[in-house]
Amino acid sequence: MNLKRFDRIRMDPRVNKGKPMIRQTGVPVATVFDLVTSGTPIATILQDNPTLEEEDIKQTMEYMLFITGMKSY
């Protein structure tokens, strides 16, 4: 599995039980994925999570599509 293209996604067994996180933000990938797929506007996600950048959200969605084999969300 080539994960090099997901340079904003981190997995560390010492942090959040090794679950994927967005860089050094402390925000779990699953949280952002759930927000986006439930219809929360990206602007709202960014406003509520000032450590996130739009590219973080883009990579989160691409990562989730990649690991699940889905074509779109």
9-68 domain in CATH 3.10.129.10?
no
Distance (Å, whole) CA 39 – CA 20: 21
Distance (Å, whole) CA 25 – CA 18: 15
| Full-model pTM | 0.84
Q: Which residues pair with 28 in a beta bridge?
A: 21
Task: Give the model confidence (pLDDT) of 20-64 as tens digits.
Answer: 999 989 899 999 999 999 999 999 999 999 999 999 999 999 999
Indicate if the pLDDT at residue 68 is higher than 90.
no
H helical segments located in the chain: 29-37, 42-48, 54-68
Distance (Å, whole) CA 23 – CA 56: 8
- Given a contact cutoff of 8 angstroms between Cβ atoms, the answer to whether 32 and 39 are in contact is no
